[in-house]
Amino acid sequence: MAVIKVERKPLSLAERSYMPGILAGMRITIRHLLGRPDTMEYPEERPAIPPGYRGAPTLVKDPHGREKCVSCQLCEFVCPPKAIRITPGTVPEGAGVDHVEKAPQAFDIDMLRCIYCGLCEEVCPEEAIFLLNQYSMTGYSRSEMVNHKDRLYEMGGTLPDRHFKWDVKKAAELGAGGQH
């Protein structure tokens, strides 16, 4: 095995005394002392949330206040840490959604297990799950960090429906209008 000897340039007096490194560090320190502080008063001031941020998953309703979730359980199956638990139930008679077979009787998301991957939102065929732009969720106990169905709808609210899956009449009008 050949040994390669590397010739190095000798250090100057300033370099041997570490003065350039000390002065560079002092310059950074003085710039931080005299400049605008980088800290913020957290609860009152919050950093900007970047686009595409994946926050806490929630359930949303359609513009008429009906549940969009049809209890297909795809989100439960695709969730890597198994943070979602769904108990399927029946749709009550006269709910205005005769073409829907199931609705969730119970829908729980354990936020301590959730890894905020966004797979539940991507796989949902009804667009019933959305990710919030909220990053600070707290609780005093483990049970407070499990979001139940009513809490998920409270957090998610109502979103406009682009597909009109649940409004058969509206979908038919749009389909007939597009054929002309």
What CATH number was assigned to the domain covering residues 57-165? 3.30.70.3270
- At residue 180, the pLDDT reads 42
The Cα–Cα gap between 112 and 99 comes to 35
Domain parsing of the chain, residue ranges: 57-165
Backbone angles phi and psi of 44, in degrees to 5: -80, -45
Q: How far is CA 161 from CA 1, 52, 61, in A?
A: 71, 20, 9
DSSP 111-126: TTT-----HHHHH-TT
Q: Is the pLDDT of residue 98 over 70?
A: no
> How big is the chain, counted in residues?
180
Amino acid at residue number 63: P
Q: End-to-end CA distance of the chain: give it in Å, rounded.
A: 81
- At residue 118, the pLDDT reads 92
Between 141 and 12, the higher pLDDT residue = 141
Q: Is the pLDDT of residue 83 over 70?
A: yes
If you search the block for the tokens 């590397």, which residue do you land on? 6
139-159 pLDDT, tens digit each: 899 999 999 999 999 998 887
How is residue 133 written in tokens?
């732009």
Q: How confident is the model at residue 174 (pLDDT cuts 50, 70, 90)?
A: low
The Cα–Cα gap between 32 and 24 comes to 13
Residues ≥6 apart with Cβ < 8 Å to 122: none
Which range (37-46, 67-76, 125-134) has the least confidence?
Answer: 37-46
Q: Is the pLDDT of residue 175 over 80?
A: no
Q: What is the mean pLDDT of the chain?
A: 85
pTM of the model: 0.68
